[in-house]
Amino acid sequence: MNLISLEEALQSRTREVREKFKTHLSASFANIQILLNFDRQFIRGEGTKLWDLDGNEYLDFVGGYGSVNLGHNHPRLLEALRRVEQVPKIVQVSLQQLPAALAHNLAQVAPGQLTRCFFCNSGAEAVEGALKIARAATGRPGFISCERGFHGKTFGALSVSGRAKYKTPYEPLLPGCTLIPFGDLEALENALKTRDAAAFIVEPIQGEGGVILPPPGYLRAARELCARYGTLFIADEVQTGLGRTGALFGCEPEGVEPDILCLSKALGGGMVPVGAYLTTEEIWKKAYGSFDTSLLHTSTFGGYWSNTLACAAALTALQVTLEENLPARARENGAYFLEGLNRLKGAYPLLKDVRGRGLMIGIELADQGKGLLSKLSTGISERVAGDFGQVSSLVAVELLNNYRVLTVYTLNNPAVIRLQPPLTVTREELDYVLESLEQILSRRKSFLGTATAGVGGILRTRKRS
């Protein structure tokens, strides 16, 4: 036996890390990262900045897929985790101080009458809990959700998500799930009319679908339709929640009061995994109101209790978000960034679209005809690179390797690059990314040529070996 200590792990170099990834995690994932030169060992983070083993500085515009709202290693979060050093981290058979306080605070800030809270460890778990309570409270079996929507990869969450690629290998999924186009009220009403649906689950802005905003008024009208047909309205705010879109919650601008609200990602301050769903007293009582039903849906690290570190992080993250006015900062800096990106869109046809609100932003790259990359890599890229074989990934590779800016595509729409920096991002950092993008876009031909030739060459070498 040869166990690695924490200290040794922290000292490990690139080659060892790659080897262990290939042997014990995923060789395919490791190989793609290495091929695209996407692989770095980041050993320090502060605000928007990351530093690798060689001391190179990067800007993080992935932001933990929207979880690092406060920036990396916010000092108040680190202090909060130190403050609870002596407190036991998990004790279920009791009523603990921190989960009680966190549930109270979430109820204070949530829209509408969402006074009941359930804790968990991830976005998918929050969605699972939301789907389950919707069934238990309504006695109905079905769910309605949107094409291209993303709610997580556990069975229930996957069943209401919208990309076949992630679903097909696991079928049959949950029965009674209906997918409708996002933003289409008529389709929603048709699906509601059967009165079979326990809930309609929707993201206020589709994140992994490629940062898609619904038409104005959609969320409010959808919420009203759900109420008319006795179907619960679940707002999945795992990605939009806690300031990302320029308001504390993405459904706030339309004054929507959901029946159930899912949170995760930024709830743990980008430091500790934690999730939650909130619901009303009435729904809670119907589903879990008696002693007998109160423990129907729980888990070791979730339910009415949550890990002390998760609660300390979440209590502090929420406080910092409000005290540092992060939603307003996201709104102002997001508008500034979008304006700059739209200017680039006007000047460079490779940038097909720019979308977003607050600092939840996506840029869509123009399709270069089926397989420019494929042609240059004699078709290998399609098989080896999958979603990575798109122009968006080439731009992301270029941003990382030549400008040290971290970005990545959205899961359900690989043509779109997400730009989701911490909400503490500075104007200077935004300007740097705008300038970097402009340099890449302005030399479209040479950039595409070099990037594809580079990747294609590596892929061909790999195929021969």
Q: HSE (CB half, 13 Å, CA atoms) of 301?
A: 15
Other C-beta atoms closer than 10 Å to the C-beta of 270 total: 24
| 277 versus 284: smaller Cβ distance to ligand PLP | 277
Q: Are 200 and 226 in contact (CB under 8 A)?
A: yes
Pick 350 or 360: Cβ nearer ligand PLP: 360
150 is catalytic: yes
Q: Does 182 bind ligand PLP (CB under 6 A)?
A: no
Identify which range of 37-45, 190-198, 203-211, 225-233 contacts ligand PLP by CB under 6 A: 203-211
Shortest Å, Cβ 152 to ligand PLP: 3
Q: Are 339 and 316 in contact (CB under 8 A)?
A: no
CB distance 395 to 364 below 8 Å: no
Q: Is 128 in the site for ligand PLP (CB under 6 A)?
A: no
Q: Is 393 in the site for ligand PLP (CB under 6 A)?
A: no
The yes or no reply on residue 412 touching ligand PLP (CB under 6 A) is: no
Residue 127 found at the interface with ligand PLP (CB under 6 A): yes
Question: CA 429 to CA 56: how far, in whole Å?
Answer: 16
Residues 340, 410: Cα–Cα separation, whole Å: 21
Contact range with ligand PLP by CB under 6 A, out of 38-46, 104-112, 201-209, 291-299: 201-209
Is the distance from CB of 147 to CB of 314 less than 8 angstroms?
A: no
Q: Applying CB under 6 A, what is the total number of residues that bind ligand PLP? A: 15
Quote the tokens at residue 458. 């590596």
Site membership for ligand PLP, residue 410 (CB under 6 A): no
Catalytic residue chosen out of the listed positions 118, 143, 150, 200: 150
Exactly one of 69, 122, 412, 413 binds ligand PLP (CB under 6 A); which one? 122
If one asks whether residue 60 binds ligand PLP (CB under 6 A), the answer comes out as no
CA atoms of 37 and 58, how far apart (whole Å): 14
Out of 60, 128, 147, 203, name the contact with ligand PLP by CB under 6 A: 203
**CA nearest to 266, candidates 180, 324, 218:** 324
Task: Give 199's contacts (C-beta < 8 A, 6+ positions apart).
Answer: 130, 131, 134, 138, 143, 144, 226, 231, 232, 233, 234, 259, 260
SS3 164: helix
Q: Does 429 bind ligand PLP (CB under 6 A)?
A: no
- 123 binds ligand PLP per the rule CB under 6 A: yes
Site string for ligand PLP, 223-262 (x = CB under 6 A): -------------x-xx-----------------------
Q: Which is nearer to ligand PLP, 99 or 129 (CB)?
A: 129
Q: Is residue 265 annotated as part of the catalytic site, yes or no?
A: yes
Q: Between 120 and 363, whose beta carbon lies closer to ligand PLP?
A: 120
Residue nearest to ligand PLP (CB): 123
Q: Does 119 interact with ligand PLP (rule: CB under 6 A)?
A: no
Question: What does the alpha-carbon distance between residue 246 and residue 338 come to, in Å, rounded to a whole number?
Answer: 13
**CA distances from residue 330 to 60, 438, 455 in whole angstroms, order as listed:** 16, 22, 35
152 near ligand PLP, judged by CB under 6 A: yes
- Chain centroid to CA 377: 31
Q: Does 305 bind ligand PLP (CB under 6 A)?
A: no
Told to check if 407 binds ligand PLP by CB under 6 A, we report no
Nearer to ligand PLP, 60 or 398 (CB): 60
User: The tokens of 352 are what?
Assistant: 């097909």
Nearer to ligand PLP, 203 or 257 (CB): 203
- State yes or no: is 431 an active-site residue: no
Q: Which residue, 35, 42, 38, 39, is CA-closest to 10? A: 42
Active site residues: 150, 236, 265
**Interacting residues toward ligand PLP by CB under 6 A:** 65, 122-124, 127, 150-152, 203, 207-208, 236, 238-239, 264
